[in-house]
Amino acid sequence: MGHLKGSNSMALAWMNSAGVCQMLGYTFPTWYGYSGWGCIDYFVEQPGRYTLVEAFHANQRALIQRLLTYAPEAATMEAPLNGHPQYHGSLTEAAKSDGITREDIEGLLFDRDNVVFYGDPGWGVRMAKHPNAWNQTLTNHDGTWTFTLLPNRGTETFAPINTNGSQRGGRPIIEFFPRRLQDFTVIEGHDLHPVFTDDFLLIPLPKTCDTNHSYVVKFKAKNIR
């Protein structure tokens, strides 16, 4: 909920008089849903793992990674302020293989540029801890970092928890670093296609879960001073 059409908009009323201190929503009526439903996938369907603002940022990063995977040309485009983005560029072979259309790319652009987070981003609100589909941990020993994922639902570990809504499931695995890092060297886990930035690790969600497979990424990195 975020569509603002004046001082009587419900989003403003919630923050002004209903005690809502954090929320996110579309600044214009939504039609695609990747951002709204995706935040639920991170915040609600992985209870206790992410704060609300972390879930928002995780989904934005997932969205950008999706754009870069399926239509790199679109990543530098900006959605019009109040209209339907038009994308006439090319799609990658991965997009064609996964059934992604230009309308999907336009939807991602709309969601990327028209969803905002309201409230204090430093307030660490999160769901009560509850068993997740998988456990993920990140440890560091003398500059060698190990990210480990342990499946909890067998072969269904990476399947969507809930399919009620548009664009549910399939979000990449994201681990935020406790401090900013640089100069990454992967030691183990190349097969998981890890993506590194200075403040998080992203792993594309495997399409299936092999319970005999080791889901580990080991890498060296240096602190950014």
What confidence score (pLDDT) does residue 95 get? 97
Q: Domain end: 85, 119, 153, which one?
A: 119
Residue 1 has pLDDT above 70, yes or no: no
Q: Which domain holds residue 199?
A: 134-223
Q: Within this chain, do residues 27 and 103 fall inside the same structural domain, yes or no?
A: yes
The number of domains in the chain is 2
Q: Taking a C-beta distance cutoff of 8 angstroms, is the pair 79, 112 a contact?
A: yes
Q: Within this chain, do residues 145 and 115 fall inside the same structural domain, yes or no?
A: no
Q: Per the domain annotation, does 213 fall within a domain? A: yes
Q: Per the domain annotation, does 3 fall within a domain? A: no
Q: Within this chain, do residues 115 and 14 fall inside the same structural domain, yes or no?
A: yes
Q: Within this chain, do residues 146 and 191 fall inside the same structural domain, yes or no?
A: yes
d(CA 54, CA 62): 12
- If you compute the radius of gyration of the chain from its CA atoms, what whole number of angstroms results? 19
3-7, 151-155, 170-174, 211-215, range with the lowest pLDDT: 3-7
Q: Within this chain, do residues 105 and 23 fall inside the same structural domain, yes or no?
A: yes
Q: What's at 122, amino acid-wise?
A: G
Q: Per the domain annotation, does 124 fall within a domain? A: no
Q: Per the domain annotation, does 29 fall within a domain? A: yes
CB count, 10 Å around CB of 5? 10
Q: Within this chain, do residues 140 and 112 fall inside the same structural domain, yes or no?
A: no
Q: Within this chain, do residues 99 and 151 fall inside the same structural domain, yes or no?
A: no
Q: Within this chain, do residues 138 and 203 fall inside the same structural domain, yes or no?
A: yes
Q: Per the domain annotation, does 127 fall within a domain? A: no
Q: Domain end: 119, 152, 171, which one?
A: 119
What confidence score (pLDDT) does residue 20 get? 87
Q: Per the domain annotation, does 199 fall within a domain? A: yes
| Mean pLDDT value of segment 183-205 | 97
Q: Per the domain annotation, does 77 fall within a domain? A: yes
Q: Within this chain, do residues 14 and 102 fall inside the same structural domain, yes or no?
A: yes
User: CB burial class (10 A; 0-12, 13-18, 19+) of residue 225?
Assistant: exposed
Q: Within this chain, do residues 174 and 109 fall inside the same structural domain, yes or no?
A: no
Q: Within this chain, do residues 165 and 109 fall inside the same structural domain, yes or no?
A: no
| Mean pLDDT value of segment 159-171 | 94
pLDDT digit string, tens, across residues 2-61: 777 788 888 888 888 888 889 898 888 888 999 999 999 999 999 999 999 999 999 999
19 or 155, higher pLDDT: 155
What confidence score (pLDDT) does residue 118 get? 86
Q: Taking a C-beta distance cutoff of 8 angstroms, is the pair 171, 33 a contact?
A: no
What confidence score (pLDDT) does residue 82 get? 67
Q: Within this chain, do residues 31 and 96 fall inside the same structural domain, yes or no?
A: yes
d(CA 58, CA 47): 14
Q: Please give the model's pTM, rounded to 2 decimal places.
A: 0.92
